[in-house]
Structures are given as C-alpha cells and as structure tokens.
Amino acid sequence: MAKAKAEPAATMTTRALSGELALGALVAELVGTFALTFAVLNTTGNAIVAAITLLVLVLILGKLSGGHVNPVVTVGLLVTRQIGWVKAVGYLIAQFLGAMLAVVVASHFITGTTDPYTGAPAKLFAVAVSGDWKPFFAELIGALVFGFGAASAIIGKKEGYEAAFTVGGALLVGLIIATAGSSAILNPAVALGVGALDLKNMWGLWSYALAPVIGGSAGMLLYKLLQNDITLGLRKS
C-alpha cells in the first residue's frame, strides 16, 4: 500500500492559520467596531448608548467572532492565553479599520449640515485630550473593571443574554468610573475614531490607548487568577 505524501510545512502552517483566523470573524469584528464607533460619534460618547450597543453586538456577533469589538478585550484574551497571536493581530487590524470607516461615513453624513440646537455648522464629535495623568488613571481603573467583567463572561464561558448583559454591564460601570477623570472611552479603536489618539500628543496615546489595554489585561488576569485559586481550593476540599 502506497504511503500518503506528507504535506509541506508551508501548507500545514497556512491551514493552521486559516483555521485560527476565519474571514467571517474578521468581518464581524470590523462591522461590530464600526457600529460601536458610529454610535459613540452619533451620541457624543453617551455611556448608556455605548453599553447597550455593545450588549446588542455581543448577542449578534458572539457566535461569529466572540464579539470583542475592542482591542482591550482582544489583548486581554491574548495575555491570558485564551486566543493566539494570529487571531489577536487579525482582530486588532479589523477593529481599527472598522473605527476609521465609521469616521469616514459619519463625516459624510454631517457634511453641509447644521447643529439643530445652535444653528452652527455641525462638527464631528471629538475628544479633547488634557496633558495630565488624570485621564490615564481614570481609563486604567475603568478598563480594569471592564476587563474583569469581560473575563467573567468569556473565561467563565457564559453565553447568550448572560454573556451580553455581563459584558455590557461591565462596560457601563467602567465608563461611569472613568468619567471621574477622562472622556470615558475604554476602547483604543473608538478613541482613534473620536480623535483621542494623535501621534503629536503623547498624552492621548498614553491615556486612551495604553492605559485601557493595561487595565483591561490586568482585570482579566485578576479574574483568571481568582478563578484558578477557587478551582484549586475546590479540588483540595
């Protein structure tokens, strides 16, 4: 009986990568982040609208991509070893592209229109970045709470409405906390969309990109640590 030919290493690698990173998941993350960013732009960053939008997106996209729509979630899951780097990089690219697309579409809608309240020419919602540490720590703490809640849903393997309400609720609480010292975004992709990330202003990058990623990852790691500790304790007892 003839032996089957061994597949080339390159082919095996390609199959492994395509298995980890599906096109449908990338499209889901792009569309989801587009919708979330557009909602934030259209409601000048309303925390309740952002939380409800995320809740609905998790319900819609959960089976397709997990419904991350936020680099904080994606990086946090990478740090806690829930996903691989290939999926993480693909998701991050899709998320930032979705946010930028939302800006383009939103800009098209407001071009030539006037503010219904002031009568002045309408402007795209943008976040003003202050040059101090308050926004950094506000985003850090808010993202830590959000990351802990997101880990509860994802690492805790919740599904459907339970997962959606957990993630959406955690975002709402995190945003409320962050309002104490920042514009309360907790999402680097959305922050790019609302103009908070500017290479000329390092405070924006520190506060609205680095701080939420660090806080969210810390929150997820904390949840995983507590979960492992509880599991170990149950095994001993």
Domain 21-236 adopts which CATH fold? Glycerol uptake facilitator protein (1.20.1080)
* pTM, entire model: 0.87
> Is the distance from CB of 68 to CB of 29 less than 8 angstroms?
yes
What element of type H or E holds 225? helix 211-236
Which of 123, 101, 63 is CA-nearest to residue 192?
101
Query: CA dist 67 to 57, 108, 189, 231, Å?
Result: 6, 27, 14, 27
pLDDT in single tens digits along all 237 residues of the chain: 455 555 554 444 444 455 567 899 999 999 999 999 999 998 888 999 999 999 999 999 999 999 999 999 999 999 999 999 999 999 999 999 999 999 999 998 887 677 665 667 778 888 888 888 999 999 999 999 999 999 999 999 999 999 999 999 999 999 999 999 999 999 999 999 999 998 888 999 999 999 999 999 999 999 999 988 676 665 666
> Which DSSP category does 208 fall into?
I
- In SS3 terms, 74-115 reads as HHHHHHCCCCCHHHHHHHHHHHHHHHHHHHHHHHHHHCCCEC
Half-sphere exposure in the Cβ direction for 193 (13 Å, CA): 32
> Is the distance from CB of 36 to CB of 187 less than 8 angstroms?
yes
* Interatomic CA distance for residues 137 and 69, integer angstroms: 22
> Which DSSP category does 72 fall into?
H
Q: What are the residue ranges spanned by the domains of the chain?
A: 21-236
